Amino acid sequence: MVTELAQEIYNLLEESLALSLSYFVNTEKRIHILYLLSSMILAYYVFSKSRIKTSFIKYLFPKRIWASQSAFVDYYLFVFNSIFKIMLIAPYIIVGFYIAFYINEALLVIFGYPKFSLGVTQTIILYTISLTIFGDFLTYIVHLLMHKVPFLWEFHKVHHSATTLNPMTQYRIHPLELIINNIRGIIVFGLVTGFFDYLSAHSIDKMVFLGVNVFHFIFLFFGSNLRHSHVKLKYPKYLEFIFISPFQHQIHHSIDPKHFNKNMGSKLAIWDYIFGTLVLSRSASKVRFGIPKENLKYKSFWQNLINPFINQIGYFKRAKKLTKNQKNKSNFF
Ligand SMILES: [Zn+2]
Ligand SMILES: [Zn+2]
């Protein structure tokens, strides 16, 4: 019995490690070798334009960033989170297809068969555009909630507690945030796929929907890895109203209160522009990363894992105290 359990745990750990390593050769993942290389080329462009005197390799891989205590928390969380991906996320990906099925059914019941149906090419183009825009919008909304709702902020703080940024910081998220993000992804996939399944009258195989999204590929190829880095890649001013540049995301990580809750978009900057949370690269020069006053509380892997829960107790106690005070006040009057 004990040996069986030990074997199960060993298998899970082995699978988690394999999943983590597979990210470097998975074209859907940001840290695929190809995207890391394309990011290096863009970093070289930034390097050549700057007045930095060191060699390019030294500029790209400073020990104080890649071997910092903060970076090690990123690496540990990346591997640790893969356990959750295997146990709690992978088995539920299928839910996206169920949602798609029921959306399609619901549309048929409400509107009947559509009067026209999209062709295969039309479907793929419009589907990819819709998935990108709707997915990006929901990513913005969920990110906004992560910053504004105290319960969620405690978990999202883990991402912001990074004091140095490297491409692996993208995966520095609390397991609870990982689960929320995946639920969001499954819902977006289900809704958009169901809608286009209806409009295309099932003319294309559902697996096509899982194919590579060209917009996602462009996003990954053109320096998405530099968002979490010290390389200040900025876009021309007008482009930064449409797309979030790597430096704009670095501003999102700034410890300066004037940058709090800014640049919360993922691919598109338009949501930040619409909701008044956009900051352009030119309005910030040097940014330090982290969360004010609390960086010291999030130095280790365990602190990042446990603190979000401990802090909820703090909120609960404060809320209790507040209601008690209000009760006393009303008794007094
Ligand atoms: Zn954030
Ligand atoms: Zn980030």
User: Which residues make Cβ contacts (< 8 Å) with residue 156, sequence separation at least 6?
Assistant: 143, 146, 147, 173, 174, 177
Nearest-ligand number for the alpha carbon of 291 = 1
HSE-up of 152 (CA within 13 Å, CB side)?
14
Nearest-ligand number for the alpha carbon of 172 = 2
CA 268 to ligand 1 centroid distance, Å:
15
What's the CA gap between 293 and 285, in Å, rounded?
A: 22
Nearest-ligand number for the alpha carbon of 265 = 1
CA 249 to ligand 2 centroid distance, Å:
6
CA 157 to ligand 1 centroid distance, Å:
8
pLDDT score recorded for residue 211:
58
pLDDT score recorded for residue 8:
86
Whole-model pTM above 0.85? Answer: yes
Nearest-ligand number for the alpha carbon of 249 = 2
CA 180 to ligand 2 centroid distance, Å:
16
CA 108 to ligand 1 centroid distance, Å:
39
What's the CA gap between 317 and 322, in Å, rounded?
A: 9
What's the CA gap between 84 and 77, in Å, rounded?
A: 11
DSSP per position, 117-161 = ---HHHHHHHHHHHHHHHHHHHHHHHHHHHHHSHHHHHHHHHHHT
CA 262 to ligand 2 centroid distance, Å:
12
CA 130 to ligand 2 centroid distance, Å:
24
Max CA pair span of the chain: 72
Phi and psi of 277, rounded to 5°? -115, 15
CA 143 to ligand 1 centroid distance, Å:
6
CA 228 to ligand 2 centroid distance, Å:
6
* Closest to 235 in 3D by CA, of 246, 226, 225: 246
One digit per residue, pLDDT tens: the chain, 333 residues?
678 888 888 888 888 888 888 888 888 888 999 999 999 999 999 999 988 889 999 999 999 999 999 999 999 999 999 988 888 777 888 899 899 999 999 999 998 888 878 877 888 888 889 999 999 999 999 999 999 999 999 999 999 999 999 999 999 999 999 999 999 999 999 999 999 989 887 666 655 555 557 888 888 888 899 999 999 999 999 999 999 999 999 999 999 999 999 999 999 999 999 999 999 999 888 899 999 888 888 999 999 999 999 998 887 787 778 787 777 766 655
CA 253 to ligand 2 centroid distance, Å:
6
pLDDT score recorded for residue 121:
81
Beta bridge partners of 254: 289
